[in-house]
């Protein structure tokens, strides 16, 4: 059943290498229609496909209802190709995390190739990593810059390129090019700013673009959730905070204290916190009578289960649910994009080839059964196609201390040692070999919106010596502002700082093994 209410052409949603191998969507209540039987995603063939790459046997994966059909329509795939793509994305995802940990600061990024995503490419700044990458089942590329270096370059350009007058509408790290891309309607002006900045010129490419993202506001009524009398947006994902249930959505949909009503105009909840621009996220606490479910509307009278929030690989398929244009799919293109809307710049968005329209803002992006983020803005529409940006869900959960509602059965918590990290809002786990370092959260950074206390707690493996540092971006480089480097695996940091971008660095000085980093930020 279509829920289209409006169409707009512009709106906010928000390499040199060596190859070796906007409006939130509501809980639209639709007629109870039995879902089509899920299609098993499995392959038993070991024969090579058209690219010459052998298909790998894997356990069956169940496609959520409606996803295969949306992938066929939006990516131009056959039913078999859609099934194979989802299978490959599921199979190759763990390899990326292992490579990210193993390569550490040499990791240059990873992405999927081919129509069915049957090829994973992992890049490194060191030729010596090629055998390990190939042995893990991926193709290797040697690149001049690491992902961390590219993120630092983009952060400098975010400061250099002014939002008024608008010089660049979008900046993002392109791991395939191993460069930072600047999209602009004024290439010469943008190039002048880039040349005047303190960045490696060969690491930046300026591309002419008519892309002008706008927030997905829509004042036309429809089945969704409403802010005030007429403004309509879309629900992202159900969350909890203690005993309170609610949902996450786009920040430009409403300010703190704004009252919402549901698709049926029944009083629904209140915005507890909201950020826009800089970020584009918010969360709404629901009133009694509204049940939080681990599900996403698939636009065909059924729902998709949400079992976790593992970030999809660049090049992987991703689908969006919104109250205007229903359910559409595309590909993850680039991460850590900075988008300048008329209201200001939003940082840390993910760029996709999924279409969207006004009224879809805040709606859910999902990859198979993994929550990815909420719709921010973009350009184009679902008739002609477009580009859409989403705010990653893990940043929203971290910012507000929320827990994603999932269908996964809760597991028994491991016994805590006397020195275990408890009482912190965010938790990240990984494994390090001696001499390696890792940046958290997820190799990027988090943003403190106000001054206050940054508390970090590290639990490393017994018998090892792991160190912990807190770094802050000073406008031109990352500087260590606090550290804990005494003997032993467990460290803590307490630092009172000003608003800005921060990240933790964990280093295995002696010994190897898994660690857990927990932290709370203002």
pLDDT of 496 reads 87
**Whether residues 513 and 467 fall in one domain:** yes
Alpha carbon distance 141, 439 (integer Å): 22
H/E stretch holding 305 = strand 303-305
Cα R_g (the chain), whole angstroms: 22
What pLDDT is stored for residue 195 in this prediction? 92
For residue 170, tell me if it sits in a domain: yes
Residues 264-283 have pLDDT tens digits of: 788 899 999 999 999 999 99
| Mean pLDDT, range 295-317, rounded to an integer | 88
Is it the case that residue 36 has pLDDT exceeding 60? no
Within-domain flag for 8: no
Query: What range does the domain containing 198 cover?
Result: 147-208
User: What is the domain count for the chain?
Assistant: 3
Confidence band for 165, pLDDT divided at 50, 70 and 90: confident
Locus of tokens 């409606």:
66
DSSP assignment of 327-393, as one string? EEEEEEEEEEEEEEETTEEEEEEEEES----TT-TT-EEEETTEEEEEEEEEEEETTTEEEEEEEEH
CATH number at residue 90: 3.30.300.50
What is the predicted pLDDT for the residue at 57?
40
Q: Are residues 24 and 135 in the same domain?
A: yes
Evaluate whether residue 288 is within a structural domain. Answer: no
**Which of the 8 DSSP states describes residue 472?**
E
Q: Examine the domain organization and report whether 157 and 91 are in the same domain.
A: no
| 55, 118 contact by CB (below 8 A) | yes
Known catalytic residue: 430? no
What is the pTM for the complete model shown?
Answer: 0.71
On whether both 431 and 498 belong to a single domain, the answer is: yes
Identify the pLDDT of residue 31: 30
Query: Which one of 142, 172, 200 terminates a domain?
Result: 142
Q: What is the DSSP letter of 54?
A: B
Active-site annotation holds for 252? yes
Indicate whether 29 and 88 sit together in one domain: yes
Task: Assess if residue 325 is contained within a domain.
Answer: no
Catalytic residue selected from 174, 231, 252, 360: 252
Residue 401 domain-assigned (yes or no)? no
Domain match, 130 and 35 both: yes
CA-wise closest residue to 495 among 455, 450, 448, 468: 455
Confidence band, pLDDT 50/70/90 cuts, at residue 9: very low
- For the question of residue 326 being annotated catalytic, the response is no
- Looking at residue 408, its pLDDT comes to 65
Q: Which of 16-20, 68-72, 220-224, 425-429 has the lowest mean pLDDT?
A: 16-20
Task: Kindly give the residue spans of alpha helices, DSSP state H, lying in 365-476.
Answer: 393-400
pLDDT band per the 50, 70, 90 thresholds, residue 304: confident
Q: CATH number for the domain including 502?
A: 2.60.120.380
What tokens were used for 387? 């580009």
Cα–Cα separations (whole angstroms), residue 176 to 6, 85, 125, 142, 292: 36, 20, 13, 11, 39
In this structure, are 34 and 61 located in the same domain?
Answer: yes
Domain-embedded: residue 241: no
Do residues 391 and 281 lie in contact, with contact meaning Cβ atoms separated by under 8 Å?
yes
Residue 202, domain member (yes or no): yes
Mean pLDDT of 73-90: 94
Domain end point (choices 119, 142, 165)? 142
Tell me: do 19 and 137 sit in the same domain.
yes
Please state the rounded mean pLDDT for residues 381-390.
94
Residue 242, pLDDT > 70, answer yes
Whether 151 and 53 map to the same domain: the answer is no
The predicted pLDDT at position 3 comes to 37
In angstroms, rounded to a whole number, what is the distance separating the alpha carbons of residues 229 and 211? 31
Residues 52 and 107 in one domain: yes
End residue of a domain, out of 208, 234, 251 = 208
Q: Are residues 151 and 120 in the same domain?
A: no
Please pick, among 124, 238, 361, 426, the residue that the annotation labels catalytic. Answer: 361
Same domain, yes or no: 135 and 156: no
Within a domain: residue 63? Answer: yes
Could you give the CA distance from residue 16 to residue 308 in angstroms, rounded to a whole number?
36
Give the confidence band of 216 by pLDDT, cuts at 50, 70, 90: low
| Identified catalytic residue from 74, 129, 174, 280 | 280
């Amino acid at each position: 059943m279509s829920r289209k209410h409006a169409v707009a052409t512009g709106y906010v949603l928000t390499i040199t290498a060596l190859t070796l191998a906007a409006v939130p969507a509501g809980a639209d209540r639709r007629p109870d229609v039995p879902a089509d039987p899920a299609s098993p995603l499995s392959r038993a063939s070991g024969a090579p496909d058209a690219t010459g790459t052998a298909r790998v046997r894997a356990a069956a994966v169940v496609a959520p209802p409606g996803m295969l059909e949306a992938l066929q329509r939006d990516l131009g795939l056959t039913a078999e190709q859609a099934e194979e793509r989802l299978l490959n994305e599921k199979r190759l995802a763990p390899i990326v995390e292992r490579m990210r940990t193993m390569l550490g600061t040499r990791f240059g990024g990873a992405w999927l190739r081919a129509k069915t995503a049957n090829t994973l490419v992992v890049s490194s700044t060191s030729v010596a990593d090629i055998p390990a990458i190939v042995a893990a089942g991926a193709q290797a590329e040697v690149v001049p810059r690491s992902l961390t270096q590219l993120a630092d370059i983009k952060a400098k350009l975010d400061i250099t390129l002014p939002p008024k007058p608008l010089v660049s509408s979008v900046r993002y790290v392109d791991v395939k090019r191993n460069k930072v891309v600047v999209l602009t309607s004024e290439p010469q002006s943008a190039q002048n700013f880039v040349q005047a900045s303190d960045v490696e010129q060969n690491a930046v490419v300026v591309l002419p673009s008519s892309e002008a993202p706008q927030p997905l506001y829509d004042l036309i009524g429809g089945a969704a959730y409403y802010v005030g009398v007429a403004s309509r947006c879309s629900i992202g994902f159900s969350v909890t905070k203690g005993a309170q249930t609610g949902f996450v959505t786009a920040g430009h949909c409403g300010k703190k204290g704004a009252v919402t009503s549901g698709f049926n105009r029944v009083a629904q909840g209140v915005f507890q916190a909201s950020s826009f621009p800089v970020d584009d996220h918010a969360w709404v606490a629901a009133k009694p009578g509204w049940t939080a479910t681990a599900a996403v509307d698939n636009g065909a009278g059924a729902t998709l289960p949400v079992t976790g929030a593992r970030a999809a690989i660049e090049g992987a398929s991703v689908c969006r649910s919104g109250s205007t244009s229903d359910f559409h799919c595309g590909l993850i293109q680039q991460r850590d994009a900075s988008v300048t809307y008329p209201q200001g710049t939003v940082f840390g968005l993910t760029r996709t080839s999924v279409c969207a329209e006004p009224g879809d803002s805040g709606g859910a992006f999902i990859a198979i059964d993994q929550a990815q983020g909420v719709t921010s803005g973009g350009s184009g529409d679902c008739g002609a196609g477009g580009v859409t940006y989403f705010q990653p869900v893990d940043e929203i959960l971290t910012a507000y201390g929320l827990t994603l509602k999932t269908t996964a059965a809760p597991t028994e918590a491991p016994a805590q040692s006397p020195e275990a990290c408890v009482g912190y809002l965010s938790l990240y786990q990984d494994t390090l070999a001696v001499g390696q370092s890792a940046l958290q959260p997820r190799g990027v950074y988090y943003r403190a919106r106000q001054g206050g206390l940054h508390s970090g707690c590290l639990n490393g493996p017994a018998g090892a010596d792991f160190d912990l540092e807190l770094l802050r971006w000073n406008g031109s480089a990352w500087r260590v502002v606090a550290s804990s480097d005494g003997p032993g695996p467990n460290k803590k940091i307490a630092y009172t700082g000003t608003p800005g971008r921060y990240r933790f660095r964990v280093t295995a000085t002696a010994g190897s093994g898994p660690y857990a980093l927990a932290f709370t930020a203002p």
